[in-house]
Amino acid sequence: MHDINAIRENPEAFDAALKRRGVEARAADLLARDDARRKAISESQELQTRRNEVSKKIGQAKGHGNEVAAQQLMAEVSSLKQDLQNAEEAERVLKAELEAAMASLPNLVMDDIPDGADEDDNVEIRRWGQPTQNPAALQHFEIGEALGQMDFEAGARLSGARFVVLRDGLARLERALGNFMLDLHVNEFGYREVSPPVLVRDEVVYGVGQLPKFEEDLFRTENGYWLTSTAEVTLTNLVREQILDHVSLPLRFTALTPCFRSEAGSAGRDTRGMIRQHQFSKVELVSIVDAESGEAELERKTQCAETVLQRLNLPYRVVSLCAGDIGFGSRKTYDLEVWLPGQNSYREISSCSYCGPFQGRRMNARYRAEGEKQTHFVHTLNGSGLALGRTLVALLENYVNEDGSITIPDVLRPYMGGDEKIEAAHGA
RNA sequence: GGAGAGAUGGCUGAGUGGUUGAAAGCGGCGGUCUUGAAAACCGUUGAGCGUUUGCGCGUUCCGGGGGUUCGAAUCCCUCUCUCUCCGCCA
């Protein structure tokens, strides 16, 4: 959500920032609505003042037993009633219209992100590790199916397209990855582990900006719950409608949760394999910070996510998303793209975003500095650290051996009972 | 699923239609006293919005929304949440 006062102060800057995203100018329209709204507020407040004055006198007259005077005053004020109702209704409507107009507008991007229209204009920031080039490299689903531990037919039988069943070593590998990542972020980077709900109500989804605009990307239960598409939704909303002490910031939360996405509009993309599923597990990293710390926290968070890939020894690159490709609620986003030999390309495995006060305002989440009266909206950040399914994909393609077995990276072995390899299941 | 009770300021807790944004206590902050601290005493202490250069003025908010009334924390409707008992259940 945007700050209408900031738009009033500098409408040109607002429109210019929207334009970088390819969104048409809106400031003039919003300010006209705001002007009408404020006029309506003044009008209804004026009527309220008059009503309150007379009503007090009525109370006093009745208190003194002066019924005649009271009756006169009541007759006088009753004529105000309809006017007041009309004025209040007008105010309500104008306020709702302004909010609706703003709720669907994306966050303003930061000055230092690249210009561009789509993902082709994203800018590579750095690379880590040596990508292996091998024309004969297998894709993860070929490797997993050969192991007899990645079963898309079973997934289809249970649930349909874009679902998978993992078994044996691969099932355990996924669990090991989750534990490894959580331990890393909790023990080394100071995140607090959280186990949140995955079913949430409307306003929570609105708070992070997925509603009202992206309803079609989400699953919903028949009685009105939304299935969270990422733990960002719940972890960020942990502070909704709160006023935090400045000294308690930053807050850093991590959680391992299933994520549910309808993938509407992705028809035909990544139809084979585990890259794009309706349900996947992810370790999420969320930070709640003050207005000054957001940019530094984005760098820190990106490092936290990168460390996972480094410990797993998976080659990757960091990409800064351009203005046309960046997400709705973000001001600046780094994507981490892991090297997939089977696809001979880098694929997104993490996305770290700095949202400024955009979500804080939608959630009405604030903080207050020691001894100050003024409250400020919290700034929020989120990032994957990492998506388990895609990490498993990367491990298969980067760690597959000649015989089809998978070497387990050193850091995961304690989580795999000391095993060094995943080999074909019995009877596969 | 059935029956019932409740939601008031940072906390506890009064208040059932008329100068009530709300008693009282606790907590917090400031002050007096003290070498310092404690105790005691005095004062102060919610969140928004509109308007104003500013001091300020006005207005809304007693779980959310709507209604009745000249006037609502107080009456009505509705939603959400919490609690108790019964049933079911991982």
Strand, helix or coil at A425?
coil
- Do residues A284 and A235 touch, judged by C-beta distance below 8 A? yes
Task: Please give the residue range of the domain that contains residue A284.
Answer: 119-422
Confirm whether A306 is domain-assigned. Answer: yes
Assess whether A317 and A176 both reside in one domain. Answer: yes
Assess whether A254 and A389 both reside in one domain. Answer: yes
Number of structural domains (chain A) is 2
pLDDT in tens, A196-207: 999 998 889 999
For residue A374, give the nucleotide whose C1' atom is nearest its CA. B47
| Amino acid identity for residue A369 in this structure | A
CATH number of the structural domain spanning residue A148: 3.30.930.10
Which nucleotides along chain B are within 7 A of a protein C-beta?
A: 18-19, 47-51, 58-60, 66, 68, 70-71
Render each residue's pLDDT in chain A as its tens digit; 428 residues. 899 999 999 999 999 999 999 999 999 999 999 999 999 999 888 999 889 888 888 888 887 778 888 888 888 888 788 888 888 888 888 888 898 889 889 999 999 999 999 999 999 999 999 999 999 999 999 999 999 999 999 999 999 999 999 999 999 999 999 999 999 999 999 999 999 999 998 889 999 999 888 989 999 988 888 999 999 999 999 988 888 888 888 999 999 999 999 998 888 889 899 999 999 999 999 999 999 999 999 999 999 999 999 999 999 999 999 999 999 999 999 999 999 999 999 999 999 999 999 999 999 888 887 767 778 899 999 999 999 999 999 999 999 999 999 999 999 999 999 999 999 976 54
A69 touches strand B (CB under 7 A): no
Nearest C-alpha neighbor of A397 from the set A129, A12, A134:
A134
Assess whether A125 and A73 both reside in one domain. Answer: no
Strand, helix or coil at A380?
strand
Which of these is catalytic: A50, A167, A240, A276? A276
Pairing of strands A366-368, A375-377: antiparallel
A78 touches strand B (CB under 7 A): yes
Confirm whether A109 is domain-assigned. Answer: no
- Do residues A278 and A159 touch, judged by C-beta distance below 8 A? yes
| Residue A226 phi, psi dihedral angles, 5° rounding | -100, 140
Contacts of A314 (CB under 8 A, 6+ apart): A129, A338, A339, A391, A394, A395, A398
A45 touches strand B (CB under 7 A): yes
From A103, A138, A169, give the residue that closes a domain. A103
| Residue A242 phi, psi dihedral angles, 5° rounding | -115, 155
Assess whether A331 and A210 both reside in one domain. Answer: yes
Calculate the alpha carbon distances from A169 to A144, A157, A179 in Å: 10, 22, 15
Angle in degrees, 0-180, between the axes of helices A27-63 and A80-103, rounded to the nearest 10: 150
Confirm whether A114 is domain-assigned. Answer: no
Angle in degrees, 0-180, between the axes of helices A168-187 and A294-311, rounded to the nearest 10: 140
Active-site annotation holds for A362: no
Assess whether A67 and A123 both reside in one domain. Answer: no
For residue A44, give the nucleotide whose C1' atom is nearest its CA. B59
Q: In Å, what is the separation between the CA of A42 and the C1' of B64?
A: 25
Give Cα A230 distance to the centre of its chain: 7
Confirm whether A244 is domain-assigned. Answer: yes
Assess whether A284 and A327 both reside in one domain. Answer: yes
